[in-house]
């Protein structure tokens, strides 16, 4: 095919244009060039509203806002804000019993002599005054709650508001190298976390391969309501110990490879080490009678001071003729003895326009931590570490979800995602003694999440 005839016509036309071209035309052309260049969106606002509801337990509502701003050709600024309101019952860690059980927790310190109007504290508890030590100038208010017989003990006073913000910067350095850095801050009623992160990425093989490395340092402070309890001491209404801190370093190495025109694969290895206060200050473990299985006392849980985690994560995205499939696998292990495997599958089914329907399934399986125990038995030696927190137990969980995405205008998208989470552990372990044999020691956890999203790019 010969371009020439077309070209010469264009050239003639151009010459004519140039000959008569006054500044007017050029100015017009220039303005068009500016408009065309501004075609690429430089700002993205991403908003989300999460509603989380566990059956009979915790509920949370969380609005999120993310802002991504292209500063110039090589720099991007990101800002994120989130507010998290959580309320509702959460497991205490204690075992259920054929007899009603009482649990006490300190919640306020008042100056000695302050008149106290005994009201029902949150969650239907009874407020009691803890007798002050001699010479004390303050006294402690504690709440005692009674759980009926054959009821899985839940802490109903759980209510918290969390604020979090993060900021990040990404810079292209040239020669296929990009660096990024950021900070994050999170604050809730009894906990504060601050972190800083750095990362670097290098493109190779004509942008088909990307190597990346990142490191994150986090510093946390716990200041639980009622103070920090001494691990494996008997639960009581006394005000506990001072604030407790923890620090964590995470490092990640990643390799992303465009395998074919349709298939993108990414493999990441991450290592994390943390030192400091790892206990859950509100969780207890029951000490039961060796014959009857009745709880005789409740101890505050204890976890090691150190935790080292490792995980390997493989992500695959495949673009079919219209649809996109994503399949991820993760293997995890830590020095607490927890090992887990996660498999995640998403299928984005494209509808007319750019709307889509995306079903999602996730399977998760974890083994118990070394020091996880459903309960301790009187007469047996007290272990160094013990926790009845079912999050550290052996269980498997499935998630089933469906997301619907709809582009609204040029550059904006609306989405809604509904998911169902189902966690099952062994509620009737073979070794259960006495009355514990008839109890469900690990009730299934089911939760529904709804995530509304709206993102706008301009």
Partner 1 sequence: MKRTFDNCLMKNRVELLMLLVLSGAGTCLGGCTSLGPKPWQHDLMAEPAMRINSDPLQAAVDDHIYFSKEGSSGGRSYAGGGCGCN
Partner 2 sequence: MPTAPVLDGDASIKGAEERMMRKTSWSALGIAIALVACTSAHAEGLDLSGYRGKVVYLDFWASWCTPCRRSFPWLDGLVRQFGKYDLVVIGVNVDQSNELAKKFLDDIPANFPIVYDPQGAIATTFKIMGMPSAVLIDRNGQVRFQHVGFSETTKDEYETHVRQLLDEKPR
Site residues (CB under 8 A) for partner 2? 1-4, 6-8, 10-11, 14-15, 18, 26, 29, 32-34, 36-37, 39-40, 72-74, 206-207
Q: How far is the CB of 224 from partner 1 (least distance, A)?
A: 16
Q: How far is the CB of 457 from partner 2 (least distance, A)?
A: 12
| Residues contacting 451, CB < 8 A, separation 6+ | 48, 49, 50, 51, 415, 416, 417, 419
Task: Give which of partner 2, partner 1, none residue 18 binds (C-beta under 5 to 8 Å, depending on kind).
Answer: partner 2
Residue (116 or 314) nearer to partner 1, CB: 314
Q: How far is the CB of 263 from partner 1 (least distance, A)?
A: 9
Q: How far is the CB of 316 from partner 1 (least distance, A)?
A: 11
Task: Give which of partner 2, partner 1, none residue 329 binds (C-beta under 5 to 8 Å, depending on kind).
Answer: partner 1
Residue (111 or 207) nearer to partner 2, CB: 207
Q: How far is the CB of 75 from partner 2 (least distance, A)?
A: 12
Residue (2 or 134) nearer to partner 2, CB: 2
Task: Give which of partner 2, partner 1, none residue 451 binds (C-beta under 5 to 8 Å, depending on kind).
Answer: partner 1
Q: How far is the CB of 266 from partner 1 (least distance, A)?
A: 6
Residue (244 or 416) nearer to partner 1, CB: 416
Task: Give which of partner 1, partner 2, none residue 319 binds (C-beta under 5 to 8 Å, depending on kind).
Answer: partner 1
User: Are the C-beta atoms of 236 and 104 separated by less than 8 Å?
Assistant: yes
Task: Give which of partner 2, partner 1, none residue 168 binds (C-beta under 5 to 8 Å, depending on kind).
Answer: none
Q: How far is the CB of 455 from partner 2 (least distance, A)?
A: 18
CA-to-CA separations, 50 to 23, 54, 440, in angstroms, rounded: 55, 13, 31
Task: Give which of partner 1, partner 2, none residue 108 binds (C-beta under 5 to 8 Å, depending on kind).
Answer: none
Q: How far is the CB of 33 from partner 2 (least distance, A)?
A: 3
Phi, psi of 288 (to 5 degrees): -110, 160
288-299: string of b/e by CB count within 10 Å (b at 16+)?
Answer: bbeeebbbeebb
Distance, CA of 244 to CA of 223 (rounded, Å): 7
Residue (128 or 166) nearer to partner 1, CB: 166
Task: Give which of partner 1, partner 2, none residue 352 binds (C-beta under 5 to 8 Å, depending on kind).
Answer: none
Q: How far is CA 166 from the centre of its chain?
A: 14
Task: Give which of partner 2, partner 1, none residue 29 binds (C-beta under 5 to 8 Å, depending on kind).
Answer: partner 2
Q: How far is the CB of 248 from partner 1 (least distance, A)?
A: 10
What would the two tokens of residue 303 be? 């976890």
Task: Give which of partner 2, partner 1, none residue 256 binds (C-beta under 5 to 8 Å, depending on kind).
Answer: partner 1
Residue (44 or 101) nearer to partner 1, CB: 44
Q: How far is the CB of 125 from partner 1 (least distance, A)?
A: 24
Residue (114 or 206) nearer to partner 2, CB: 206
Q: In what order do the strands lie in the sheet with 284-288?
A: 295-300, 284-288, 376-377
User: Are the C-beta atoms of 58 and 158 separated by less than 8 Å?
Assistant: yes
Q: How far is the CB of 230 from partner 1 (least distance, A)?
A: 24
Residue (31 or 259) nearer to partner 2, CB: 31
Task: Give which of partner 2, partner 1, none residue 321 binds (C-beta under 5 to 8 Å, depending on kind).
Answer: none
Question: Of 179, 455, 145, 85, whose CA–CA distance to 284 is shortest?
Answer: 145
Phi, psi of 230 (to 5 degrees): -80, 125
User: Are the C-beta atoms of 278 and 385 separated by less than 8 Å?
Assistant: no
Task: Give which of partner 2, partner 1, none residue 39 binds (C-beta under 5 to 8 Å, depending on kind).
Answer: partner 2
Residue (18 or 253) nearer to partner 2, CB: 18
Residue (2 or 119) nearer to partner 2, CB: 2
Residue (22 or 133) nearer to partner 2, CB: 22
């Amino acid at each position: 095919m010969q371009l020439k005839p077309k070209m010469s016509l264009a050239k003639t036309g151009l010459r004519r244009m140039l000959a008569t071209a006054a500044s007017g035309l050029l100015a017009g052309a220039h303005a068009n060039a500016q408009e065309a260049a501004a075609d690429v969106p430089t700002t993205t606002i991403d908003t989300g509203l999460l509603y989380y509801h566990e059956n009979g337990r915790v509920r949370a509502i969380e609005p999120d806002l993310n802002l991504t701003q292209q500063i110039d050709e090589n720099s991007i600024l990101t800002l994120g804000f989130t507010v998290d309101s959580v309320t509702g019952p959460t497991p205490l860690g204690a075992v259920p019993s054929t007899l009603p059980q009482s649990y006490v927790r300190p919640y306020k310190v008042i100056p000695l002599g302050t008149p106290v109007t005994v009201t029902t504290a949150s969650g239907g508890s009874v407020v009691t005054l803890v007798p002050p030590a001699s010479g004390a100038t303050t006294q402690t208010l504690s709440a005692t709650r009674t759980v009926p017989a054959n009821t899985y003990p839940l802490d109903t006073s759980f209510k918290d508001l969390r604020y979090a913000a993060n900021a990040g910067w990404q810079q292209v350095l040239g020669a296929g190298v990009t660096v990024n850095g950021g900070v994050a801050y999170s604050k809730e009623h009894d906990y504060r976390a601050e972190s800083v992160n750095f990362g670097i990425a290098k493109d190779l093989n004509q942008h088909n391969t990307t190597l990346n490395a990142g490191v994150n340092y986090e510093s946390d402070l716990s200041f639980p309501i009622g103070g920090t309890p001494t691990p494996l001491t008997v639960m009581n209404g006394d005000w506990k110990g001072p604030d407790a801190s923890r620090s964590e370093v995470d490092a990640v190495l990643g390799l992303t490879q465009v395998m074919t025109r349709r298939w993108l694969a990414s493999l990441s290895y991450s290592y994390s080490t943390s030192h400091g206060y790892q206990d859950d200050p509100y969780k207890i473990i029951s000490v039961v009678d060796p014959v009857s299985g009745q709880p005789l006392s409740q101890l505050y849980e204890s976890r090691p001071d150190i935790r080292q985690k490792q995980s390997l994560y493989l992500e695959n995205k495949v673009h079919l003729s219209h649809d996109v499939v994503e399949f991820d696998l993760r293997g995890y292990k830590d020095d607490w003895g927890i090992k887990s495997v996660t498999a995640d599958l998403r299928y984005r089914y494209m509808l007319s326009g750019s709307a889509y329907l995306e079903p999602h399934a996730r399977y998760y399986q974890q083994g118990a931590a070394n020091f996880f125990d459903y309960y301790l038995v009187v007469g047996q030696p007290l272990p160094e570490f013990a926790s009845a927190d079912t999050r550290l137990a052996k269980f498997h969980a499935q998630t089933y979800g469906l997301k619907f995405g709809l582009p609204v205008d040029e550059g904006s998208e609306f989405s809604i995602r509904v998911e169902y989470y189902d966690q099952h552990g062994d509620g009737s372990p073979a070794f259960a003694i006495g009355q514990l044999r008839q109890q469900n020691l690990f009730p299934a956890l089911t939760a529904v999440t709804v995530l509304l999203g709206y993102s706008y790019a301009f």
